[in-house]
Structure 1
Amino acid sequence: MSWRRLQAVMVKELRQMRRDRITLAMIVAIPVMQLLLFGYAINTNLRDLTAGVADQANTAGSRALVMDIVATTVVTPTLAAETPQQLMEAMRRGEISIGIVIPPDFERRRVEGRERVQILVDGSDNAVQSAAAQLAQMPLDAGIRTTGPAAERAISVVAFYNPERRSAVNIVPGLIGVILTMTMVLFTGVAIVRERERGNMELLIATPVSSAELMIGKVLPYVAIGLIQTSVVLALGLWLFEVPLNGSVLHVYIAAMLLIVANLTLGLLISTRAQSQFQAMQMTFFIFLPSILLSGFMFPFAGMPRVVQWLAEVLPLTHFLRLIRGVMLRGASLWELWVDVLALVAFTAVMMTLAISRFRKRLD
């Protein structure tokens, strides 16, 4: 063992690392990002859940009851409905997470000590169910603060789409998006870099293939791979975990294709920036980590600060989770979830445009 030779190798490695600006940035950026995400962005205590209110009694007591519920900061009323059916339709479209129903005979029920408010919950998100259960146990004014058996009957919680609160029902649809995000971005992230490292770029330069043709040609084969992955996860989820499929199978595949294309174009943009396959893998990890943490797959979206929610809206996985859970669990159609469909289409268009504009058929 020679210390001089060992020192020479160490110096060489440090100098090479110094020239690799992306690696140097990742050394600092990854721990900082994890610290900020786990310390600031992720919060399991849900607040400001979108709620609809159907106050069929419309009395001073019922209005005071609604104000007491809002004062808990667990829910934020965004919809005024006349019937519980309207709340159910809004919940199916993903417009609200919780519905508050006050019956017409509210005052009589309050005097008799019977159940006088019903909370409808979107059970496709287990975290929302937990927040609703806590809300039902909170002491409220306006005739709700009682003791004994009457207190147990004051508020009833009705969970839809996953009343058994099975984790697989919530996780399996989201896993489709997580797997597609990880594999599709990585596959295309190394696509252009691999051409350079293998010496194939010289052949591409000599051909009349345009930048747009090359980029689109790189994307299309992986679309089929992504659909195969979707089929595997979907089939296993239905067979092994008995995850319901309440919506259209066609809409499930359309939503998956939107995410696949969005992730592939993001991977292409990464490949135009990375100088090696290792750099492409680093940048892919840098994208994948916030996607899985901020999209609502692992931690409740409603518990994040408003600024972080705005950042999460840029991630394709956030919109796909809303689509896939809406279609599979709530039986909604893509036309009812058109905002998230449009977001994925816009993301794809922007990423593809940037990738094509950054790519040049040259060796330097």
Structure 2
Amino acid sequence: MNWRRLQAVMVKELRQMRRDRITLAMIVAIPVMQLLLFGYAINTNLRDLTAGIADQANTAGSRALVMDIVATTVVTPTLAAETPQQLMEAMRRGEISIGIVIPPDFERRRIEGRERVQILVDGSDNAVQSAAAQLAQMPLDAPVRTGPAIERAISVVAFYNPERRSAVNIVPGLIGVILTMTMVLFTGVAIVRERERGNMELLIATPVSSAELMIGKVLPYVAIGLVQTSVVLALGLWLFQVPLNGSVLHVYIAAMLLIVANLTLGLLISTRAQSQFQAMQMTFFIFLPSILLSGFMFPFAGMPRPVQWLAEVLPLTHFLRLIRGVMLRGASLWELWVDVLALLAFTVAMMTLAISRFRKRLD
């Protein structure tokens, strides 16, 4: 082995890496991003879950008990209701994760030592169920002002997944994870592949506009995404008995929204990357935050507020709310219109940026 030749190859590789600014940035950005995500953003201890309260007793004792529950910081009241039915409707729409019901005969139950408050839980998220169970068993830090300990005062009722089966929570989210990984990657290398194979010269000579080329690149992959959705959905229903409480049409519409959003994101990446390897690097840089911050693996409510704002930009975050709302809670897309609009806005923004960045030139 000739060490001078070996050294020459090493120097050449380092110089090439230095010129490749995207790869150089990834060397530093990926470990920093992982450290921040795992160390700062991901928190399995849930706090500040959105909660609705139906205090039908409205006595000093019932208000004190609600204050004791809120003092645990597990829940944050965002809705005042009059009946449990109103809480269940808000939960089905995804407006709250937990409902607190205090019956009209609260004082009599307190004297008799019976359960005095009921917690309604959105069981489509297993993390919320765990937090509610922990809340029901947690003794208060301050002395209880309404009688016996809180664990005897509270009963928990879980909706949509009372058995707490992990597959019910995981399988709908897997549709979004698979679509995010494949759709962004497929289109992320689309324009780059045309350039590397020499097909860009042919496209330049044609009258095809930038918008026509971008849209033409996207549409074939829509069908592929729908096939993937069908495969995961069928296997989930067959192998894991995941319920489908909502409309099948709404499931596919939600999947279509995510597919198009991810495809336009992939096109934007392809206009920036100089090689297929760079496109795959940038795809990984998008995929890692998506799977960690969207609420698929770790509870969304446990993340710091700035990280939640960042997660709202990711398409997978909104798709998880849509697919779990439709499949598990039986909600319609019209009731989840905020997340629908978010995916549409993301798609328009990414497609506009991709079209504006693409030029029918070789330079």
TM-score of the superposed pair, with normalisation by structure 2: 0.98
Tell me the alpha carbon deviations over residues 138-160 of structure 1, each in whole angstroms, 9 at most, x when there is no partner: 22499967x99986542100000
SS, match of residue 175 in structure 2: helix
SS, match of residue 101 in structure 1: strand
- What percent identity do the matched residue pairs reach? 97
SS, match of residue 153 in structure 1: helix
SS, match of residue 149 in structure 2: helix
Task: Look up the match of 2:254.
Answer: 255
Inter-CA distance 191–199: structure 2 relative to 1 (3 Å threshold): same
Structure 2: gaps spanning 5 or more residues: none
Tell me the alpha carbon deviations over residues 293-315 of structure 1, each in whole angstroms, 9 at most, x when there is no partner: 00000000000000000000000
Report the Cα distance in structure 2 between the residues aligned to 1:192 and 1:151, rounded to whole angstroms.
Answer: 61
Inter-CA distance 4–341: structure 2 relative to 1 (3 Å threshold): same
Residue 126 (structure 2) pairs with residue 103 (structure 1): no
CA apart distance, 1:5? 1.3
Report the Cα distance in structure 2 between the residues aligned to 1:107 and 1:313, rounded to whole angstroms.
Answer: 43
SS, match of residue 96 in structure 1: coil
Contact 1:61 1:107 survives alignment (8 Å): yes
CA apart distance, 1:11? 1.1
SS, match of residue 306 in structure 2: helix
Report the Cα distance in structure 1 between the residues aligned to 2:141 and 2:345, rounded to whole angstroms.
Answer: 47
Report the Cα distance in structure 2 between the residues aligned to 1:76 and 1:213, rounded to whole angstroms.
Answer: 48
Contact 1:65 1:142 survives alignment (8 Å): no
Contact 2:68 2:144 survives alignment (8 Å): no
Contact 2:138 2:150 survives alignment (8 Å): no
Comparing 150-159 with 255-264, greater Cα deviation is found at 150-159
Report the Cα distance in structure 1 between the residues aligned to 2:143 and 2:322, rounded to whole angstroms.
Answer: 39
CA apart distance, 1:8? 1.3
Comparing 151-160 with 303-312, greater Cα deviation is found at 151-160
Structure 1: gaps spanning 5 or more residues: none
What is the RMSD computed on CA atoms of the aligned residues? 1.6
CA apart distance, 1:4? 1.3
Report the Cα distance in structure 2 between the residues aligned to 1:16 and 1:264, rounded to whole angstroms.
Answer: 30
Tell me the alpha carbon deviations over residues 202-252 of structure 1, each in whole angstroms, 9 at most, x when there is no partner: 000000000000000000000000000000000000000000000000000
Task: Look up the match of 1:54.
Answer: 54
Comparing 332-341 with 12-21, greater Cα deviation is found at 12-21
Report the Cα distance in structure 2 between the residues aligned to 1:157 and 1:294, rounded to whole angstroms.
Answer: 28
How many positions carry a matched residue from both structures? 363
Task: Look up the match of 1:80.
Answer: 80
SS, match of residue 159 in structure 1: strand
Tell me the alpha carbon deviations over residues 254-288 of structure 1, each in whole angstroms, 9 at most, x when there is no partner: 00000000000000000000000000000000000
Contact 1:56 1:104 survives alignment (8 Å): yes
Tell me the alpha carbon deviations over residues 53-76 of structure 1, each in whole angstroms, 9 at most, x when there is no partner: 000000011011111111110000
Contact 2:57 2:106 survives alignment (8 Å): yes
